[in-house]
Amino acid sequence: MLRAAELVAGVMEGGNLTDAFERMAADHAAWPDATRGAVRDLAWSTLRDYGTGDAVLQQFLHSPPAVLIHGLLLVALTRLEQRPEQAHTVVDQTVQAAAVAMPGLKGMVNGVLRNALRQRQLWTSWVEADEEARHTHPRWWITRVRADHSEHWRSILEAGRQRPPMALRVNRRRAEVDAVVAELEAAGIALRAVSGQTVLLAQPLPVARLPGFAEGRVSVQDAGAQRAALLLAPQAGERVLDACAAPGGKTAHLLELADIELSALELDPLRAQRIRANLDRLGLEARIQVADCARLETWWDGRPFDRILADVPCSASGVVRRHPDIKWLRRDEDIAGFAAQQARIVDALWHTLAPGGTMLYVTCSVFGQENAAQLAAFLRHHADAESDPIDGFPDCQLLPDADHDGFYFARLRKKA
């Protein structure tokens, strides 16, 4: 409980949740998978419902507590929601954790939680009275989603507070879908084949428990993310660029689809290493370069690409259930900054695309400023660009649901 609270407190102080968890796991390498998974699940669940928990806490806090104690109380409320039948045990464990972290505040922690339990029947009314608590997203985020998706905004926000699905991509170079499905079912893993090479698991599992993962027969990749390589549709012998490539899931998928000459760019050297590790596990090869994809002079050899995957940095608003710290760390004004960065990248990459070539613009965002508005602006500014429709439409906005996360795709062709 205390470890999960430390992660939550780190986010409240502006830290990155995934990075903090990876450091914690490295510092506790002896933790069994069950402990590591429990800490992760509790921290992620608490942050998905941060607004709800804070609305309840504010009824009992007369002044802001120390950030670690605040995080601990939020974690306790999440555990009380998950295990109401163990309420007294949860309170006792929380008080014990407070005694370890800040002994002088264990009485306050005990008093707040016991008061909260006595007024449990009022929690719902407190949450319903607060829009941020009701939807577990910041108000500016709610406003944007409502404006961009007037018919689906509630379902988008609801998806953002759910546990994400776990999907596998079958490596067509090493396995057939039917054989992988049979192998997983024989191991007692509930699943369903979705489409193509995609298998959706009923429950998330550590990759160590997945038959065929270590041997490169399957990879973990969201079903929505798997659409990127399929939409770009590389053909044998083509020269392909994967810009902003880490951690390498889409890079690998492109290489699984066709025998191509692929270059993968990544700005962060450590993240570039993850691309190499992923490709090595799958028995694939690409040219990996550490570079800013918008600074052509640092990496491009002047030879044009037949196809480009421009999976650009974005708000990540479509994958927020996987990264729940994002919705509390982002600010409304950040979106314009992402949009400017995206435009800079695709304008630069367009110069490297051969006439007749195809670029796929991709974000994991549901915000229109990063998506349809970018497509419209690009087409206005580039007379040699034309939209290559997807399923009869100029673009494709996948909204998060039970099967996949939220993604945006726009396919562009350079006039010959």
Asked if 361 contacts 410 with a C-beta cutoff of 8 angstroms, the reply is yes
Is residue 396 part of the annotated active site? The answer reads no
**Residue 156, CA atoms < 13 Å, CB-side half-sphere:** 25
**Residue 192, CA atoms < 13 Å, CB-side half-sphere:** 5
Cβ-proximal residues to 143 (8 Å cutoff; 6+ apart), any chain: none
Residue with tokens 């670029």: 359
Q: Measuring CA to CA, which residue among 289, 203, 285 is closest to residue 246?
A: 289
- Distance between CA atoms of 253 and 249, rounded to whole angstroms? 6
Q: How many residues can be counted in the chain?
A: 416
Among residues 244, 314, 364, 396, the one annotated as catalytic is: 364
Quick one: 369 exposed, middle or buried, by C-beta within 10 A (0-12, 13-18, 19+)? middle
Q: Measuring CA to CA, which residue among 140, 162, 278 is closest to residue 219?
A: 278
Q: What angle do CA 169, 359, 402 make, to 5 degrees?
A: 35
Q: What angle do CA 37, 41, 45 make, to 5 degrees?
A: 175
Asked if 323 contacts 17 with a C-beta cutoff of 8 angstroms, the reply is yes
- Distance between CA atoms of 204 and 193, rounded to whole angstroms? 15
Strands (E) located in 14-155: none
- The residues that are catalytic are 364
